[in-house]
Every structure is written in structure tokens, then in C-alpha cells.
Amino acid sequence: MCGIVGIRDAGGVSFSIYHALYALQHRGQESAGISTFDGTRLFKHKGQGLVAEVFDSAILEALEGNVGIGHVRYPTTGANRPENAQPFNFVFRDRIISIAHNGNLVNSRELREEFERRGQIFCSTTDTELIAKVITDEMSTSGCIEDAVHRCMRVLKGSYSVVMMIDGVLYGFRDPLGIKPLCLGRTEKGIIIASESVAVDALGGSFLRDVLPGELICIDDEGMRSLQIARSSQRAHCIFEYIYFARADAVLDGALVYDVRLKIGEKLHEEAPVCADSVCPVPDSGTAYAIGYSAGSGIPFVESLLKNRYMGRTFIMSTQNEREKAVRIKLNPIRKHLEGRSVVLVDDSIVRGTTSRRIIGIMRDAGAREIHVRIGSPPIIAPCYLGVDMPTREELIANGRAEEDVRRRITATTLHHVTIDALVEAIGLGRENLCTGCLTGCYPVEIAGEKSAPPAVDYVDGTYQTKLETFGT
């Protein structure tokens, strides 16, 4: 989980990157960074904290140039350390390089050991630095960026959406299965590559399309080109992006996330109807689902829990105790809407079960008579190795437990998780094109000790590039 952006714009880029990162803040709150290039020099700034805490106008003014990349970080691989903040900047054979990545590699240890055996050093524990090493390793022999990305797509195992800037040329590429999102947009005078379409919207730009799995996009003085490096008949888009992670107003690989969640809400009603006084979302993650449930059932949508907007995600708390207290501060019940009522409580997912149990407790304290919990994802039974920060199997409440057991533990009156078939139908991309690892325990890439069914990937030789767009400088 991380957000990335790359922009080329004749009018300067630092403020645009800042606004785009702001729109992607939900993808990572631990650190933020921007690198820009003015034709000869690299300007960079990064730090721990939210985008608005890391940057101010003076800092942004100092980030000169018409091309740049940015990153917001939510740690998966690599500890919470300042040196792990991205973009990762370095010079290689007089070429000034900056790179940022969203995803998680599953063979980083092997790759790292291989480089270290050859005497290479690392100054961070991130996958991003490893990707940079694979790129420079290939550049040192062929000198060609396209070859270097080709090599990345062959040796990197896992998920990776990458933005990269080499001497002011902007690149973006996505792993051959398209696990993490990446899209293209046009602004008045430029081009943007970003994790989610909401970053394009934030700049008043127009959405062009998703970067294809296995595709390399190159944006330089002449315009924008595409090189399809790897092809697979199947994709493996992260299903959890639709369930929880992406913003509801994002369009991911052709599907508007809001619509998907609305449909899931309707399906939750079809699968598990109940007689109740109101449908209440867990804000904000359950809202679109609850509207769908209400529309399908005719039961009024009544907000009964109000969220404190100034509170970060409860997952940021490091201990269980802190997490439990945080839920209470984050959500306040509206007693009048709950007293003596039977309520359908709708949320996106249950991970550890802490949030649901606490919320149900709060609602019962406020007088709710019955709480029928409806969840927009099937039970999460397995960890994610491909970029979503999920706890271990042991901490997942649904792992090894029947739904009835989970219901009892979270103290709900009734509980239903949407079925995987209904979820897949709501997304509309076909099950074969989705990574369902956290729901099934079967992954689209090989992972030691886990079940997997990796689709075949073909690599396209040659350097033919499709010209997408031409613009002057």
C-alpha cells in the first residue's frame, strides 16, 4: 500500500505533485516525498508524516522543474525509518535517477542476497532500492532503459507499480499481472501517471486510461510512448483495492469503485435479507455498501455513528490496547437513532475483528436492540504478500473459524459476509483477473509455503514503441 505519482507539465510540477499526493493520502500516511528535475539538477524533499506536514509553500517553491515524481508511504516491506521514505534518488554513471514504487516483492530476500554476494551495498530496506539495483545492473551492460525494465519484469516476483525519472525522462510501469493500480491522465499542459484516477481529478485533468499490466510508458520531450514488455492472458488485480483500499470515487481498471461497493451492498441484501428499522454504515468505509443495502431492501439509510474527521486510521496504532481506545474516539453513536432499534450495520471487511466488536459494543451501549452485521468482503482468511498491510494468519479472526463463531466473538445478532461469486460479479472483471489471495489462500505468484496458481506470462522482444501522444517542450 502506497501512492505514487509522476507528472510532466510545462508549467512546473511541484504543486501539482503535492495536490496529487494529497488526493492519494489514503494510500499511505507514514511518509511523503517529491523529486523534481529542471533539466540539469534534481530537487528533492521527503519526510515522515502526512503530505501537509512534510511540505509547505516554501519547500514546494524550491522544487523546480517541469518533471517530477512523488510518493506516499504505507509500510509493507521495510521498517518505519526515515531512510525508507521515497522517492529513492541516486546518480548512476552521471545519470540522475529517482524512483518510487507501490507494491511488494516476494523474492526480495533472494535478490538482495544475490546483489550482496556480488559486493553491492544497500542503504535502505525497501523493495524500491532493489528495483533500482536491477535497473542499474542491466543499464550497466546494455545502457538501455527498456532492457532494464524488461529485466525487472522477468526477475521481480510480486506486485510493483513504478514511477521513475531518469535525467528528466518520466517512466511508469506495472507488473505483468497488474496487481497494483496505475493510470494515465492529461492535464492542461502535461501528463500524469498516478496510482488512482482521483489524483488526475484533483488536478482538474482528464483520465486517459490505465497503464496496462506489463506495459512501460515513457514520457519525454517528444511525447508519450508505450512499450508492451510482458503479456499474460490473465490479470491479477488486487481485490482488496475494490473492497477497502482505493477511494470510492476512483475508477480502477475500468470499474468505478463506488459502483462496485453499491452493487455489493445490494447483493448483501439479496444473500442475507433481514427485517430491521434502519441500515447504518460504519463510516466511511461502509457507506457505499450501506446505501446499496438500503436501496435493495427499502430499509431506510440512517447514519447512527459519526466519525471524527481529524483522526487517522485506527491501524496506525501499534498496540491492541491503543487500537481499542482509538475506535471510541473515532466513532460516536447517535443515541436517538439507535435506542430500541434493530439496525443493519454495514462495513467493508473484518480483519482482526477488533473494530466490529468495539463498534457493536458502542451501539449496544447506546441502546440498539439488534445489530445485524453485513460485510462487503468474504471472510479474510489469509495474509497478503502483495502489498496490503494485513496481519498474520493467527490474528485474522476468520482464519479457521466458522462465520457463527466470528459472529459470537464480535457479539453481532446475525452476521453475513458477501460471497466471493457476488463480489467478483460486482467488480465485473472476471475471477481469473483478480488476486483473491487474502480470501482464498491461493496467490497469483509463487510464494514459499503457500498455494499458488501463477498465470503464464510471455515477454515481448524488440523495442517497438507505440507513439501515444506528441507534444513540444
Place of cell 447506546: 366
Q: Name which of 38 and 403 has its Cβ closer to ligand AMP.
A: 403
User: Under the criterion CB under 6 A, does residue 315 sit at the interface with ligand AMP?
Assistant: yes
User: Under the criterion CB under 6 A, does residue 287 sit at the interface with ligand AMP?
Assistant: no
Task: Output the smallest distance, CB 323 to ligand AMP, in A.
Answer: 7
Planar angle of CA 380, 381, 387, nearest 5 degrees: 70
Q: Name which of 148 and 380 has its Cβ closer to ligand AMP.
A: 380
Helix (H) or strand (E) holding 305: strand 305-307
In the list 31, 77, 278, 285, the residue contacting ligand AMP (rule: CB under 6 A) is 285
CB 291 within 8 A of CB 439: no
Q: Is 61 helix (H, G, I), strand (E, B) or coil?
A: helix
Helix (H) or strand (E) holding 257: helix 257-271
Task: Output the smallest distance, CB 289 to ligand AMP, in A.
Answer: 10
- For residues 207 to 246, the per-residue mask of contacts with ligand AMP, x marking binding by CB under 6 A and - elsewhere, is -------------------------------------x--
**First and final C-alpha spacing in the chain:** 34
In the list 313, 328, 335, 408, the residue contacting ligand AMP (rule: CB under 6 A) is 313
- Full DSSP string of 336-403: HHHTT-EEEEEES--SSSHHHHHHHHHHHHTT-SEEEEEESS----S---SS-----GGG-TTTT--H
User: Under the criterion CB under 6 A, does residue 351 sit at the interface with ligand AMP?
Assistant: yes
In the list 348, 423, 438, 445, the residue contacting ligand AMP (rule: CB under 6 A) is 348
Kind of pairing between the strands at 237-238 and 434-435: parallel
Task: Determine the interface stretch with ligand AMP among 21-29, 90-98, 382-390, 441-449 (rule: CB under 6 A).
Answer: 382-390
Identify whether 2 is a catalytic site residue: yes
Length of the chain: 473
- For residues 146 to 175, the per-residue mask of contacts with ligand AMP, x marking binding by CB under 6 A and - elsewhere, is ------------------------------
In the list 347, 423, 426, 429, the residue contacting ligand AMP (rule: CB under 6 A) is 347
- Name the CA dihedral angle for 195, 197, 198, 202, rounded to a multiple of 10 degrees: 110
Task: Output the smallest distance, CB 373 to ligand AMP, in A.
Answer: 11
Q: Name which of 20 and 380 has its Cβ closer to ligand AMP.
A: 380
Of 2, 183, 218, 384, the catalytic one is: 2
Three-state SS letters, 12-33: CCHHHHHHHHHHCHHHCCCEEE
User: Under the criterion CB under 6 A, does residue 349 sit at the interface with ligand AMP?
Assistant: yes
Interacting residue ranges for ligand AMP, rule: CB under 6 A: 244, 285, 313, 315, 347-356, 388-390
